Structures are given as C-alpha cells and as structure tokens.
Amino acid sequence: MTNLTQHDIDKRLEEIVSAAWAHNMQHFPAVTVSEVSKVLEYVGKQAVTSSRGGKRLRALLLHETAHTFAENTRDVIFTQEHERAIIDLAVAIEIFQTAALIHDDIIDDADTRRGKPSAHRALETHMSNNHQGSGLALMLGDLLATLSIRTAHTSSDIFSQSSTIFQTFLDMHDQVELGQIMDVSMESLDLDHCDKLEESITATYINKTASYTTVAPLEIGLLASESLQGIESAHSVALSAGQKLGIAFQIHDDLIDLISNPEQTGKPVGGDIREGKRTYILAQALKLANSTQRDYLIHSYLDNEIRTQSQIDHIRDIFISSGAIEASITAVDELWNSAAQEILALCMACDISPEMTQNYLHTCQRFVA
C-alpha cells in the first residue's frame, strides 16, 4: 500500500484551489470598489471551505490503482513527476465532486453539506437575498468544474495515454450530469410499480454516483499505471466492478442516512425521507411491505412537500419492519462480494502479489465500510 494519506490529498487540493483563485484575481480585471471585491473574497473563501471535509476515498482509489497495477510490469517505477501527476489527477476528481455537490445542493435546496452550511446557504448570509446566494454558488460550481478539467488536462499530459485519460474525465462530467437529470426526473415517478422504480434507481446510481466515485478512479488509475496495454479485460473489469462497487457505496450511504449518528455524518437522520428521495431502500420497502404499509408509503411520497418528523419516524419503522433495511444491507454485501471477485481475478491476471492484492482490496472495501 502506498503511504499517501487523506491529509496529503487535502493539502494538494487546497493548494490547487487557492492558486487558481489567486491567479484569477490577479489576471482578470478587478475592481477596487469594496462591495464588489468583498463578494469576490467571500466566494474565494467558500471555494476553499466547500473543498474541505471529504474522505478522499475517490482520490485514494485512483492513486492506489495506479500504483498497484504499475507494479505488475516490474519495470515501471514512477518518477517524481509521474507521482505528482497521479496525485493531481486524483485531486481533479475531488475538485469535480465539490463542484457537483455545490450544484446538487442548489437543486435540492439543501441546508447543510459535510456538517457545514451548503455553499449557497453560506453565501446568502453575505447578500441581501437568498437568490443571490444561489447565483454565487452556481458560478462557484462552474468555476470549480472548469478547474477540475484544467487540472485533469495538465496532469494527464505526462502519460502515454494522456488523451484517453482526459476523455475519460470529460465523459465522467457528462455522466454525472445526466445522472442528476435522472435524479430530478425520478422525483415525479409513480410509486405504484416498484420494479420501474428499482430500474430507474439503479441506472441513476450508476450515472450519478458510480461514474465518478469508483468507475473513473479505477479507469484513470489503470490508464495512468501505463502497464495494461496487453490486458484487454482490464477496462471492462473497471467498468463492471466499478459500477457494482459504486452502487454498493450509494446504497450504503443511503443506509447511513437512516441509521447513523448525525454528528458523524453532518446531516440529520432521515434526510432522504424528509426530502422524498427515491432510494434503493424505498424501492425494497415498496416491494416487501404489506398493503397497509405500501399505501402509507405511496401516499407519503405523493406530494413534493417535505415530510414531517412523525411521518419520517413512521416511514423509517416501515423500512425496518418490512425488511427493506435488511434487504439493502444484503444487496451491499452481494454487490461488494461480486465486485471483489472481479478485482481479485484482475489482480491475478496482472500478477499482482498476494500482499498487494490484499491491500488493494482493502482500499476498495472502504467504500462500503
């Protein structure tokens, strides 16, 4: 296992975001008028604040993948420049995530993110109305999305498959945005047919979550390892195992929303129910519940209003008593096991040592731990 830590990623991420902001402030016409420069300063500070607090699982997966699979050719040793470029590719994904979360919070009108106010909520406190806060956050998301692309472009340059790495990064952008569109469209989805719901949820999770959480880190890590030209199955494994692991991660995340300590997650328990989110757990509950429970669920999710605390508690009880929570935990386990088997087979095909394989599986498993 490499020695790279969450803290190393945090540090480099903050370096890149701060440098980009400073560059913009220096190179584009600014104003001395204090009202305007103050707002620019707030947005610049928010860029750093919004970037903080992630677990960096995606970045660490990309980095670990590149190192693990580079070893298999025995003669690939990363230069310092390559190592720096791999870290920056990993950071680019984290920057993209920050951009996507800022836009996601505007769409969901979410108050908090990672235990702090969401970007638009934080920015609106400086402005005369809430709409301005959303406007500033929308632009901050745009700036960070461009910065993620800029970072991926610069850092992919050194690799022999630079163009494929960059295209993979752009595809990831598109896919997450399509997943968001699917997510919004699911809000009005009829709950009478639970298999339709399950199909839509799975496709949304693949696009909106797995794409940038697991598939792109695996794909880009493999491409950056520069050692898989001969192993044709590598990329199909990245896609297949990455999708399974990514869906498992999202269901696991949905479960945390229901059964965890709000102080650890930074979000209130049952937030997804409150907002009427169409989740895998809900789909299971609709499938497994008795008819009284099912009617209650369908009725509760019908309108776009926010559900009350007593509704949340009742729905949560149905999720438990119907066996939906248990079924979702089982699904996470099964998806993880299937993903792990594919990853294991790839490691064997690539002659990765048992010890490295073990370490690599451990990195992957953190998405469902």
Four-point Cα dihedral 294, 297, 302, 308, nearest 10: 160
| Residue 184 interacting with a second copy (CB under 8 A) | yes
Stretch that binds a second copy, among 102-110, 258-266, 281-289, 291-299 (CB under 8 A): 102-110
| Residue 220 interacting with a second copy (CB under 8 A) | no
| Residue 182 interacting with a second copy (CB under 8 A) | yes
Stretch that binds a second copy, among 39-47, 50-58, 230-238, 293-301 (CB under 8 A): 39-47
Residue listed under structure tokens 């008028």 = 33
Both tokens of 32, joined, read 């001395």
- Nearest-approach distance from CB 270 to a second copy, in angstroms: 21
Nearest to 220 by CA among 71, 351, 61: 61
Interface of this chain with a second copy, residues 300 to 329, rule: CB under 8 A: 304
- Nearest-approach distance from CB 117 to a second copy, in angstroms: 18
Output the CA–CA distances (angstroms, integers) from residue 28 to 157, 168, 190, in the order listed. Answer: 26, 30, 49
Q: Answer whether 365's CB lies under 8 Å from 340's CB.
A: yes
Interface of this chain with a second copy, residues 148 to 167, rule: CB under 8 A: 149-150, 153, 166
| Residue 181 interacting with a second copy (CB under 8 A) | yes
Nearest to 94 by CA among 41, 124, 64, 55: 55
Stretch that binds a second copy, among 82-90, 204-212, 284-292, 354-362 (CB under 8 A): 204-212
Give the type of residue at 148: S
DSSP 226: T
- Nearest-approach distance from CB 351 to a second copy, in angstroms: 31
Q: Answer whether 105's CB lies under 8 Å from 113's CB.
A: yes
Stretch that binds a second copy, among 55-63, 83-91, 172-180, 269-277 (CB under 8 A): 172-180
> Looking at beta carbons only, is 2 or 200 nearer to a second copy?
200
* DSSP bridge pairs for 34: none
- Nearest-approach distance from CB 60 to a second copy, in angstroms: 25
Strands 116-117 and 112-113: antiparallel
| Residue 345 interacting with a second copy (CB under 8 A) | no
**Binding footprint of a second copy, residue count (CB under 8 A):** 65
> Rounded to whole angstroms, how far apart are CA atoms 156 and 36?
36
| Residue 31 interacting with a second copy (CB under 8 A) | yes
Nearest to 216 by CA among 263, 165, 256: 165
Say how many CA atoms lie within 13 Å of 128 toward its Cβ.
Answer: 1
Tell me which of 177, 256, 344, 349 binds a second copy, using CB under 8 A: 177
> Looking at beta carbons only, is 166 or 280 nearer to a second copy?
166
* DSSP bridge pairs for 121: none
Tell me which of 91, 106, 222, 346 binds a second copy, using CB under 8 A: 106
Q: Answer whether 167's CB lies under 8 Å from 151's CB.
A: no
Q: Answer whether 312's CB lies under 8 Å from 267's CB.
A: no
Tell how far CA 359 is from the center of its chain: 22
> Looking at beta carbons only, is 149 or 223 nearer to a second copy?
149
Stretch that binds a second copy, among 31-39, 53-61, 70-78, 257-265 (CB under 8 A): 31-39
Stretch that binds a second copy, among 62-70, 141-149, 252-260, 341-349 (CB under 8 A): 141-149
Both tokens of 165, joined, read 């790495």
Tell how far CA 24 is from the center of its chain: 27
| Residue 26 interacting with a second copy (CB under 8 A) | no
> Rounded to whole angstroms, how far apart are CA atoms 319 and 311?
12
Stretch that binds a second copy, among 137-145, 216-224, 285-293, 352-360 (CB under 8 A): 137-145
| Residue 291 interacting with a second copy (CB under 8 A) | no
| Residue 277 interacting with a second copy (CB under 8 A) | no
Which residues are near a second copy by CB under 8 A? 24, 27-33, 35-36, 38-40, 43, 103, 106-107, 109, 127-129, 131-132, 134-136, 138-143, 145-146, 149-150, 153, 166, 170-171, 173-175, 177-178, 180-182, 184-190, 196, 199-200, 203-204, 206-207, 211, 243, 304
